[in-house]
Structure 1
Amino acid sequence: METKIISCTGEKGGCGKTTLNIILATNLFHLYGKKVVLMDMDNPQYSVYKKRKRDLAQIGKMETDAFPVERATIHTLEPLIKKYYGIVDFIIIDFPGNLNEEMVRGLLYVEHIFIPFFLDELEIDSTAVFYKTLRKNFLDNDNRVLRSVNLFFNRYELVKVNKFNAVRKTLARAGMPMMRQVVMERTIYREKYRNTLVPIPLSKENGEQGLKRFMEEVLEISKN
């Protein structure tokens, strides 16, 4: 089995990376039949690992299939990757919300990075700097593992489409092209579908929730 190591990550907290890593893992596992492991490197908070425990407690004795959620540190990440490499389709790593030692060392293993951001001047500036840092130190390296860095809009609002398009064009001119698909602003993502056990209902994927095309673009990019 060919294992892909991916991550939604960003240099600052609050960009939605953890919510999206959970949604990606849960839906790739349940709706796309992919074997997945989600590794939580947000030491010492371990919010994803704690979320799995809460999800299990809420479901109670109900039987459910579940992908593993592992706590990881800079010392245990490599052994964990070796444990799962070749037996799962995706290793998804959730990093801390800042460019600390865990993230820098963990990024050495990641093949495809997806960077969410939204319409905020400081957020855009931070994302651009992070993108350039990744390109210089990881992507433009002959011995690199990293194969792609992908920017995308999170919390996209149709009422601000002109502003989003302007940012997209500005970044493209600066050599920072973005993913075609976006993740819409939906409170339900954070309140209901940020779940490590329950996927987004199939009836919602093509309509109100609109994540299917985004996930399919992630799958498309990860094939390379």
Structure 2
Amino acid sequence: MKTKPLFIAFSTQKGGVGKSTFTVLGASYLHYLKGLNVAVMDCDYPQCSVYEMRKREIRQLETNLHYQSKAISMFESLGKQTYPIVCAKPEEAISKAHEFLAGESTEYDVVFFDLPGTINNDGVISTFMAMDYVFVPMAPSRMSMESTLSFIIPVHELLTEHKDLNLKAVHLFWNRVDGRIKKEWLEHYEGVIRQFGLPLLKTAIPQSVRYDKEQSIEGSDAVFLSTIFPADKSLLKGSNLDLLVDEISEIIHLKHQS
């Protein structure tokens, strides 16, 4: 009998804070660098940006010999291919995930769910609550804080009152922390978070253009954000992505294979 994989989501009410980015980065890091088997359910319907990203990258591989050669070499070394990405409506995501997993010979360790930027309908809420863990990227600004807290506090209270829910915990983490932001501002925001008893990860992600660095149609630049490659080692240093994934892995009791 197959072991049930962990269902994980990066989710937030605030658009443009990085939920899809961290879905891709987390999946690629664990699948390609840490020896785990990962799948992605792209529930940001109908645009399915992660699914479309994979299609775009495959088209680029067909014409870019550098990335093509790099991919062939990597997959031969790993002994496995790219992780699957399944596009699904949010209200159908759980049933689609179980259907997908039942039809696979591979045993998966983690399934990442890229949820829509709002949970204001029953279908998204039920999918959200079916996760094992949710991680919420949050920019250090008043607008992002207010939006995030209005979204997270009721969920946290629900988890506190009902221990029998599938969702075990929701954790916040700082994203796009500009070096110019005043330390006292962050401390103030973190004080507000503590007042509500919300878990905040130790790892903060700095503002950096590398987080948008995808493979190109031409050229051979190092790639950071990709569904086909892991973040390039030359760009990983100082990004805190490795620290973030390691901290999350510890919280969800996920053991890396390499």
TM-score normalised to structure 2 length: 0.80
**In the alignment, residue 175 of structure 1 is paired with which amino acid?**
G
Secondary structure at 1:184 match in 2: coil
Cα distance in 1 between the residues matched to 2:61 and 2:199: 41
Between 1:208-217 and 1:79-88, the stretch displaced more is 79-88
Between 1:208-217 and 1:153-162, the stretch displaced more is 153-162
How far apart are 1:196 and its partner, in Å?
0.6
- Residue by residue over 1:112-171, the C-alpha shift from the partner in whole angstroms, topping out at 9 and shown as x without a partner, is 100011122121011111111212345532330011110000001233250222211221
How far apart are 1:211 and its partner, in Å?
1.2
Residue 204 of structure 1 contacts residue 210 of structure 1 at CA under 8 Å; is this kept in 2?
no
Between 1:118-127 and 1:85-94, the stretch displaced more is 85-94
Aligned residue number for residue 4 of structure 1: 6
Cα distance in 2 between the residues matched to 1:194 and 1:201: 9
**In the alignment, residue 206 of structure 2 is paired with which amino acid?**
M
Between 1:173-182 and 1:15-24, the stretch displaced more is 173-182
Which residues of 2 match residues 101-112 of structure 1 at below 5 A?
Answer: 101=121, 102-112=123-133
Aligned residue number for residue 80 of structure 1: 97
Secondary structure at 2:180 match in 1: helix
Identity among equivalent pairs (%):
23
Q: Give the unaligned 5+ runs of structure 1.
A: none
Aligned residue number for residue 30 of structure 2: 28
Which residues of 2 match residues 1-224 of structure 1 at below 5 A?
Answer: 1-60=3-62, 62=68, 63=72, 64=75, 65-73=81-89, 74-84=91-101, 87-101=107-121, 102-138=123-159, 140-162=161-183, 163-192=185-214, 193-205=224-236, 207-223=237-253
Residue 93 of structure 2 contacts residue 127 of structure 2 at CA under 8 Å; is this kept in 1?
no
Cα distance in 2 between the residues matched to 1:7 and 1:138: 16
Secondary structure at 2:176 match in 1: strand
Task: Give the alignment's Cα RMSD to 1 decimal.
Answer: 2.0
Q: Give the unaligned 5+ runs of structure 2.
A: 76-80, 215-223
Residue 38 of structure 1 contacts residue 91 of structure 1 at CA under 8 Å; is this kept in 2?
yes
Between 1:107-116 and 1:154-163, the stretch displaced more is 154-163
TM-score normalised to structure 1 length: 0.91
Aligned length: 223
Secondary structure at 1:75 match in 2: helix
Cα distance in 1 between the residues matched to 2:84 and 2:25: 14
Between 1:160-169 and 1:78-87, the stretch displaced more is 78-87
Residue 115 of structure 1 contacts residue 149 of structure 1 at CA under 8 Å; is this kept in 2?
yes
Residue 41 of structure 2 contacts residue 93 of structure 2 at CA under 8 Å; is this kept in 1?
no
How far apart are 1:2 and its partner, in Å?
5.0
The higher radius of gyration belongs to 2
**In the alignment, residue 85 of structure 2 is paired with which amino acid?**
V
Cα distance in 1 between the residues matched to 2:51 and 2:26: 15
Residue 225 of structure 2 contacts residue 231 of structure 2 at CA under 8 Å; is this kept in 1?
no
**In the alignment, residue 75 of structure 1 is paired with which amino acid?**
E
Cα distance in 2 between the residues matched to 1:66 and 1:11: 29
Residue 130 of structure 2 contacts residue 166 of structure 2 at CA under 8 Å; is this kept in 1?
yes
Secondary structure at 1:158 match in 2: coil
Aligned residue number for residue 219 of structure 2: none
